[in-house]
Copies of this chain bind each other. A is one copy, B any other.
């Protein structure tokens, strides 16, 4: 009878939009959940082999105390707010971008969103044209475009231009397209390569943009993590009439979980209105307490500015050392980063061996690396590369950020030797994880499927 009772619970077939069938849960989120679960399991059974998590791009530090305190102080803010954001915050963001990045914006050009990811998605939804995505790329641009049924043109970047988009490649993409307007997503500093564009490079790209009606979404969320910030130039300064600069609190101010992003738009009333129409019918406004907290993040408070300088120096040091260690592995090539907290690592030297031992694509390789070496990397197919391209993204943030920041300030390591010692002492999971990769590929080189030593 119980059986019958259960059977009585009706099922209904629900028809879903087909274009979503080809889109997977983003690999970074999926692997992050997976590794978290493994770590929990490990810690329960007192496992001695830790997981090395290089597949997720979260700042390892706590946000500046000023921002956390501001959230605490504004916990009672519970009213609906204007969709574009509170006037004070839009003004602060505009002033901040004008001051720090030499834009010439007004507060009316700023829109606050729950993360820069959502504002990028909304911009894609309101603008006409195909989407030009330089690859390797961040994991989310492609699914965002596919969800919106936008046409996508990946632009494959090459080592000889340090994985930067060149005017020639951009022009070729525009000429290839049947659209008379295009949307270029230009991520600078770049995730995953760590490349940073020079002023001349941006100017050359802007020339092509003007010639071919290319709107730029300049995803500059990592701007303040640039290792030499004096050299960072915003595309919003170079190409103000056609660039939307996006950013937020998530990376340089370490508050990814606060979900606050910003867009600085060209002074184009209709574009801004259309974005607000979509924003008003989806997220409505960003959480009120978070908006007030963000004021502390965009008001050039000295402690917050110093925090960003210190943490960028730490990223620079760890990135340089990690790249060096990876490049020391036979047959492995890693980019040398200029900002952000990623390296782009190329294992294609081992493509034949990998295929021979049954690891036919990069996703297989990465799964196997987790299994055998407890070492997680983001496979190239998530970066919009072909499945059999054995390149990966390596996030060098798997350490205890608060302890590292504290020790960094105390020890202030400056020589190469001091910094290497610092790295070995405080970033053991990265150090050991790279050794795991080395051991793994030494077995691949011998033509056998690696096992844990």
Contacts and interface: CB of A to CB of B under 8 A. Distances in A.
Interface of A: 9-17, 20, 23-26, 29, 32-33, 56, 58, 62-63, 68-69, 71-72, 75-83, 114-115, 117-118, 121, 125-129, 140, 143-144, 147, 180-181, 210, 213, 215, 240-242, 254-260, 266, 268, 270-271, 273-274, 276-278, 280-290, 293
Given A78-B254, A117-B282, A289 B17 contact: no
A59 to B, nearest CB: 9
Copies of this chain assembled into the complex: 2
Given A25-B280, A273-B25, A282-B117, A256 B287 contact: no
A114 B25 contact: no
Nearest to A80: B256
Contacts of A181: 14-15
Given A9-B241, A71-B71, A71-B289, 19 more contacts: A10-B240, A12-B215, A14-B266, A15-B129, A20-B274, A33-B82, A58-B80, A75-B75, A78-B258, A79-B256, A80-B256, A114-B114, A117-B283, A144-B282, A147-B278, A258-B288, A259-B283, A259-B288, A287-B290
A127 B278 CA distance: 19
Identify the interface centre among A13, A180, A278, A287: most chain B CB within 10 Å of its CB.
A287
A17 B215 CA distance: 14
Given A15-B128, A128-B16, A259 B284 contact: yes
A372 to B, nearest CB: 26
A292 B72 CA distance: 13
Nearest to A129: B15
A115 B125 CA distance: 20
Contacts of A288: 257-259
A10 B213 CA distance: 13
A284 B117 contact: yes
